[in-house]
Amino acid sequence: MGETGDGVVAETSLPFKPRVVAASLSGESDATWAKGAAPSVGAAVLGGLAVDKPTRRAARTMVEDRDRDEFLPDDPLPFAEKQLTELTGVPIVPGLNVRSSTLDPLRKVADVCAAHGAICEINAHCRQTELCDVGAGQSLLREPARLAAQVEAVANAGATVSVKVRTEVPGADLPAVARRIERAGADAIHVDAMDSEGVVAEVVAATELFVIANNGVRDRETVREYLAYGADAVSVGRPSDRPAVLDRVREATDAWFDESTEANR
């Protein structure tokens, strides 16, 4: 759990039930999307949302040059407030995936997340050159001191802190990054395993963070693979708007934890 600026330990939104997350998708994951996923998930992460000038410029370039979908409201703070307000009363833990290269805008959006009991998920995951060039996305994995400073900024606002990361980033040591962000006040790490699923087990062994495993989660087999590595939850990305996939994942996740509870009796 992170500490607020007054030194008070902030309550987290973890763990949630079911242990399934609808994962953020650029320009697609808004409150309406989260409501659609709600019957099958315990948490839904909106975004990603660029919150400072450098990342917003990068996102605009990606839209113009690559025809990508991105959330680019005139002001990200009212947008975050509106989206999270729309989820009031929806039986999920909301989250917001945010991209920033500077701390002050991150603190402000963390305040919004804290006010809504939402997870503030720092994006150390996006690999687009435009975002990495301004010091956001996966570039933060090669600069763990900067990433830790972002974690501290969010934790001091009283928000539950998750960091989304990816494996197979040259020059990045994910277990070491996990230990660093845990010391800085992170509550969770959201691991996009790419083709290196075993790294999830290394991250689990390295920290006490709540570990969410992502990439290719579709069915019983993929759910059980990640949970066998020690993940505390799984997340679904692209198929998160497909109820049949989410239902399969929820059923498999519930069954795993039911079996674990029974085995420990």
**Boundaries of every domain in the chain:** 20-263
- Averaged pLDDT of the chain: 94
Q: Are 52 and 59 in contact (CB under 8 A)?
A: no
The Cα-based distances of 197 to 191, 194, 234, 258 in angstroms read 9, 7, 12, 23
Question: Taking residues 224-244, what's their average pLDDT?
Answer: 97
- For residue 219, the model assigns a pLDDT of 95
pTM, full prediction: 0.94
Q: Could you report the per-residue pLDDT of 170-222, keeping only the tens digit for each?
A: 999 999 999 999 999 999 999 999 888 999 999 999 999 999 999 999 999 99
Secondary structure letter of residue 176 according to DSSP: H
One-letter identity of residue 232:
D
Residue type, 225: E
What pLDDT does residue 259 have?
86
CATH among 3.40.50.300, 3.90.1300.10, 3.20.20.70, 3.30.450.40 for 20-263: 3.20.20.70
Using a pLDDT cut of 70, give the percent of the chain over it: 95
Query: Per residue in 168-181, is it b (16+ CB within 10 Å) or e — as a string?
Result: ebeebebeebbbbb
11 pLDDT band (50/70/90 cuts)?
A: low
Helix residue ranges per DSSP H, 23-138: 31-37, 53-66, 76-85, 104-115, 129-133
217, 248 Cβ separation under 8 angstroms: no
Closest CA to 234 of 218, 213, 255, 219: 213
Residue 265's pLDDT band (cuts 50, 70, 90): low
User: pLDDT for 87-108, tens place per residue?
Assistant: 999 999 999 999 999 999 999 9
